[in-house]
């Protein structure tokens, strides 16, 4: 009897963003957490258009981080793939509670 080789299934959790770019994204998140008061104040200037200051500030911060993510790829003369963008979204989601907490606790 011959042994049948079993292959491991494709791992869905493989990282596609380079460690350098991931470290850069993490540093951006840390920076924007530390500057949450400024972004909360900016969001409050839109209270006529939106009543949810926290969500508005969060959206501004995520937009800034995403812009940095895209710039990192541009600097490397690359375009992020769908998988890169999905991984970026997972990174943001994993740190979103801390970002939101920093916005809520910020004193403008």
8 domain-assigned: no
Task: Supply the range of the domain harboring residue 69.
Answer: 19-105
9 domain-assigned: no
46 domain-assigned: yes
Question: What is this structure's pTM?
Answer: 0.81
Number of domains into which the chain is organized: 1
pLDDT tens for 12-70 read: 445 689 999 999 999 999 999 999 999 999 999 887 777 899 999 999 999 999 999 99
DSSP string covering 80-96, please?
--HHHHHHHHHHHHHHH
**What per-residue confidence (pLDDT) applies to 11?**
44
Three-state DSSP at 3 gives: coil
Which residues does 91 contact at the CB level (< 8 Å), separation at least 6?
17, 22, 25, 26, 29
């Amino acid at each position: 009897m011959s042994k049948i080789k079993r292959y491991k299934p494709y791992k869905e959790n493989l990282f596609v963003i380079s460690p350098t770019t991931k470290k850069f994204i993490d540093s951006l998140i840390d920076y924007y957490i530390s500057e949450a008061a400024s972004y909360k104040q900016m969001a409050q200037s839109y209270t006529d258009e939106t009543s949810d200051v926290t969500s508005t500030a969060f959206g501004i911060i995520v937009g800034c981080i995403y812009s940095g993510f895209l710039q990192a790829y541009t600097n490397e003369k690359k375009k992020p793939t769908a998988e890169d963008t999905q991984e970026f979204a997972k990174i943001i989601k994993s740190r979103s509670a801390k970002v939101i907490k920093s916005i809520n606790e910020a004193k403008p």
